[in-house]
Chain A
Amino acid sequence: MKVTVSIIKADIGGLPGHAWVHPKILEFAAERLREEQKRGLIIDYFVYNAGDDMSLLMTHTKGENNPDIHGLAWSIFKEATENIAKKVKLYGAGQDLLKDTFSGNIRGLGPQVAEMEFEERPSEPLVVFAADKTEPGAFNLPFYRIFADPFNTAGLVIDPSMHQGFRFEILDVYEGKVYLLDAPENSYDILGLIGTPGRYIIRRIYRRSDLTQASVTSVERLNLIAGRYVGKDDPVAMVRAQHGLPAVGEILEAFAYPHLVEGWMRGSHVGPLMPAKMISIDMEKRIALGPKMTRFDGPPKVIALGFQLHDGYLEGPVDLFDDPAFDYSRQLAAQITDYIRRMGQ
């Protein structure tokens, strides 16, 4: 069965400031998606947040860039802005909705989009990521580690399906150009580009042995769309796992090191990317409440939810950074935060 997984994310107002999403907005979105599931537009859904960004995770069979799916997300963001965010005067109500009208595709209108269409395998583990107070290039280093660094991903050495390596699709968001480069033999070229994460973003990654798509990252740059600073781009991403792709643990391992990313307060600083736990998961309502962004509006945080897909249905999620083994990473990120803040940076 060919299934499409779509993540569409927007910041439509913070509670308070840029700290968190109002839980009523998550509930509103989940209720709207439940209606569309009943109508048959989508197979399944889940709604969650990282800081002040709400992500709509949807599964369907309509392919990428489908006007009905994008239109659904746009109408949810618009309605939640008008009915909740503006009514209770959330901070920056509707800030990511840069245009007034929807014309068939949500790309270029402000929200972040990560979509992948694939043939569902006999077992299909999926890890979805959302990061707040940073930019899409924040995933460059961990995704390189996952798919090109054998010291992170032992499977690159020992799994015959992965041994040939992965193909990286890197987007130059300033020039609108795509580079296709193969790891391991083009590793230095890949690093030459992705070391400038504000411009070169790893968008998709393919397994070279059969061109199976393994990951996708959102690449929309708000300031390039709007022509002015309108908030950081707070990316979303997803990675397929296991059975000839990196194991779930190899995917998460790359986030154990809280590397420095651009963003944080007013999108104008550099801070450590902290792997954060969710606050709560409501399986019945299909909602997860994510972390708040408080210290200096941060530090930048990333969350990871794990699902098993079955016939397009999302079994789960599991809060994948809710593991004591990540406590040290969080502690290290807190120490780096303290160190940087003492310089006023």
Chain B
Amino acid sequence: MPHRLPPEEMEYTTLPQILSKLKPIPVDEYEKNRLQYIQFLTSQASQQTTGQTTGSGHD
């Protein structure tokens, strides 16, 4: 989790909840199929704009 202070030292943060929905890709797998990953995201985004899916562009 990103932080400047460890979470236990922060008085209050909801950042972990915000970021928990992000779906990262293992870097080795990503580097092998970089173009496909980027294009896949694009096709999802275009579907989104036509109302066929819901959720954020990176899901």
Contact = CB atoms under 8 A, between A and B. Distances in A.
A193 B45 contact: no
A128 B59 CA distance: 33
Contact of A192 (B19, B30, B35, B45): B19
Contacts of A171: 27
B2 to A, nearest CB: 4
Interface residues of B, number: 23
B58 A181 contact: yes
Interface in B7-59: 15, 18-19, 22, 24-28, 30, 35, 37-39, 41-42, 45, 56-58
A79 B23 CA distance: 44
Interface string A160-180: 000000010001100111111
Contacts of B58: 179-182, 186, 189
A206 B40 CA distance: 14
A163 to B, nearest CB: 14
A177 B39 contact: no
Contact of A176 (B18, B28, B56): B28
A182 B27 contact: no
A34 interface: no
A195 interface: yes
Query: Which of B15, B22, B35, B56: most chain A Cβ within 10 A?
Result: B22
A200 interface: yes
A180 to B, nearest CB: 5
A104 to B, nearest CB: 15
A247 B27 CA distance: 30
A82 interface: no
A193 B25 contact: no
A185 B3 contact: no
Contact of B25 (A180, A185, A189): A180
Nearest to A200: B2
Contact of B27 (A177, A181, A206, A208): A177
A186 B2 contact: no
Given A182-B57, A185-B57, A177 B24 contact: yes
Interface string A201-241: 00000101001000000000000000000000000000000
A62 interface: no
A189 B24 contact: no
A196 interface: yes
A216 to B, nearest CB: 12
Contacts of A195: 2, 4
Nearest to B30: A178
22 contacts: A175-B24, A177-B24, A177-B27, A178-B24, A178-B26, A179-B58, A180-B37, A181-B22, A181-B57, A182-B41, A182-B45, A182-B57, A186-B57, A186-B58, A188-B18, A189-B18, A192-B2, A192-B18, A193-B2, A208-B42, A211-B35, A211-B42
Interface of B: 2-4, 15, 18-19, 22, 24-28, 30, 35, 37-39, 41-42, 45, 56-58
Closest 9 CB pairs of A and B: A196-B2, A177-B24, A178-B30, A176-B27, A178-B25, A182-B57, A179-B24, A178-B27, A180-B41
